[in-house]
Amino acid sequence: MNRASDGTTIVALASPQGLGAVALIRLSGSSSAQIVSSLCRAEESVVPQLDRRARLWRLYDGGELLDESVVTGFAGPRSYTGEDVVELGVHASPYIIERVLRLCLKAGARMAEPGEFTLRAFLNGRLDLSQAEAVADLIAADSPAAHRMAVHQMRGGLSERIGRFREQLIDLAALLELELDFSEEDVAFADRTTLRGLLVDVRAELASLRAGYRAGQMAREGVATVIAGRPNAGKSTLLNALLGEEKAIVSPIPGTTRDVVEDVLQIGGVKFRLLDTAGLRVTADSVEQMGVDRTRDRMQRAALVLFVFDPAHHHSPQQVHEELEGLHTGDAMVLPVANKCDVPENRLRIDEPEWRSALPNLLVISGLTGDGLSELRSALRDMVDALGLSSEVLVAHLRHDELLGRADTELKKVELGMESGLPTELLAAHLRAALRHLGEITGAVDADDLLGAIFSRFCIGK
């Protein structure tokens, strides 16, 4: 993708392909109004007013009426791209859409590349780079949590925090550069105590942002929640009960589930990706063992693990504790779930005081009857705060997290360099590198290949 606008007017379908009531065709560039005007008959020809008011126009191909369109014009720089923009609302017939696009191309427009409208918005200062990325996140958001995070970032939540760091560091970098100009005078313009205190504060802020990266990923992609336990503990029954459909095969034969069965459940505005897995046991069946290995791998990468057990096979809470300690769940939060408590003997055992005192977060359910499922959903919803998903500014992109990490590394070099007496020119070099990494998050530095990689992920028309 060419980083700089080539001055042409671009056009694309900005709504999804397929049959529907209305399709939106968008043009951006200095010739937008004239190109749309060419779609009118000579005796009706007028130039669209860029006043944000919608008007009904007839569109023609020569003397043939194509469609009646709602035409809305936006004058630059107060438009999405910062350029003159005209949008045509036409009937969503693929035939009409194709002919209108061909007429626009014939009149001098060219087809927009993926993400080029938003790229122009960035180049014209309407959005910074992190806000532009949030546009793609907003389009892809499929849960309230993902939507909330994308909106906050699009409105500049992350940019404001990064901007504050950079302003403080730029002032100190300028003072260090000034010292280099007066190096022969042996003058210190940047107070070292102030610099050290600022570095501590900024690094703490960077650590706080990076700590939210996992939560940001979960807000975008969903909370990976593994349903684990021994064979025939009722894991598949629980999955089906939570989803309200027969997603997984349920059988009294141990080892039925051999691959991971996944589906999505929305709770409290957060998307949970439920993964039903193979039962944990030692087996001579090579295929089942592959399923067990996948279960352990998914637990290592999960955010939550629901450890489901049948009280008939766990005669004491100590047994549950021993199995929980052997799960190797990494950083995942683990919730023990006693299933099959519609069986009277199971219920009596679980209601004994030693179980409640030994496992205070124990949930008692019956996947078969649905008893206790509302409490399970509530427990999952309560974990949202513990996972950090309620935070307003979340770092949700690996690119952002890596750049924050690089900036922190350079600032640490400055901090250590001050203690070891590192020359001012090297301190200034590390500080400049940190500023460059922070600037790459918002696009405050030149990076042609970076822009191409980011905006190529967008759909055409955005």
CATH number, domain containing residue 171? 1.20.120.430
- Asked whether residue 456 is domain-assigned, the answer is no
| 88 in the same domain as 33 | yes
Tell me: do 57 and 124 sit in the same domain.
yes
State whether 308 and 251 are in the same domain: yes
Instruction: Note whether 122 and 148 are same-domain residues.
Output: no
Q: Do 283 and 186 share a domain, yes or no?
A: no
Same domain, yes or no: 199 and 236? no
Q: Which two tokens stand for residue 323?
A: 């199995």
Nearest to 234 by CA among 251, 219, 217: 251
Q: Please give the model's pTM, rounded to 2 decimal places.
A: 0.71
Q: Measure the CA–CA gap between 336 and 225, rounded to whole angstroms.
A: 13
Structural domain contains residue 462 = no
CB hemisphere CA count around 226 (13 angstroms): 29
Same domain, 267 and 311: yes
Whether 257 and 370 map to the same domain: the answer is yes
Residue 268 domain-assigned?
Answer: yes
Half-sphere exposure of 257 (CA within 13 A, CB side): 30
Q: Is 310 in contact with 339 (CB distance < 8 Å)?
A: yes
Instruction: Tell which of 386, 405, 430 closes a domain.
Output: 386
What is the CATH classification number for the domain harbouring 368? Answer: 3.40.50.300
Name residues whose C-beta falls within 8 Å of residue 59's C-beta, 6 or more positions apart in sequence: 39, 40, 65, 66, 67, 68, 69, 88, 90, 100, 103
Residue 28 pLDDT: 97
Residues 254 and 341 both lie in one domain: yes
- The CB-side HSE value for 390 (13 A sphere, CA atoms) comes to 7
Q: Does residue 172 sit within a domain?
A: yes
The answer to whether residue 314 sits within a structural domain is: yes
- Bond prior to 48 in cis (omega within 30° of 0): no
Question: Do 371 and 275 fall into the same domain?
Answer: yes
Q: What is the pLDDT of residue 192?
A: 74
Considering the domain boundaries, does residue 417 fall inside one? yes
Report the chain (462 residues): mean pLDDT per 10 consecutive residues: 67 87 95 92 69 92 92 94 96 94 96 93 90 87 83 86 85 73 55 81 90 84 88 88 73 57 85 84 72 81 89 85 79 89 88 85 90 92 75 80 95 90 87 91 64 61 70
Q: Token pair of 231, please?
A: 């064979």
Q: Is 432 left (phi over 0), alpha (psi -120 to 50) or beta?
A: alpha
CATH of the domain at 91: 3.30.1360.120
Q: Does one domain contain both 353 and 424?
A: no
* Structural domain span for residue 165: 134-212+395-443
Residues 228, 299: Cα–Cα separation, whole Å = 8
Q: Which of 128, 152, 184 is the last residue of a domain?
A: 128
Q: Looking at the structure, tell me whether residues 181 and 246 fall in a common domain.
A: no
Domain end: 128, 150, 166, which one? Answer: 128
| HEC profile of the chain | CCCCCCCCCEEEECCCCCCCCEEEEEEECCCHHHHHHCCCCHHHCCCCCCEEEEEEEEEEECCEEEEEEEEEEECCCCCCCCCCEEEEEEECCHHHHHHHHHHHHHCCCEECCCCHHHHHHHHCCCCCHHHHHHHHHHHHCCCHHHHHHHHHHHCCHHHHHHHHHHHHHHHHHHHHHHHHHCHHHCCCCCCHHHHHHHHHHHHHHHHHHHHCHHHHHHHHHCEEEEEECCCCCCHHHHHHHHHCCCCCCCCCCCCCCCCCEEEEEEECCEEEEEEECCCCCCCCCHHHHHHHHHHHHHHHHCCEEEEEECHHHCCCHHHHHHHHHCCCCCCCEEEEEECCCCCHHHHHHHCCHHHHHHCCCCEECCCCCCCCHHHHHHHHHHHHHHCCCCCCCCCCCHHHHHHHHHHHHHHHHHHHHHHHCCCHHHHHHHHHHHHHHHHHHHCCCCCHHHHHHHHCCCCCCC
Is residue 459 included in any domain, yes or no? Answer: no
- Number of domains present in the structure of the chain: 3
Q: At residue 56, what is the residue type?
A: L
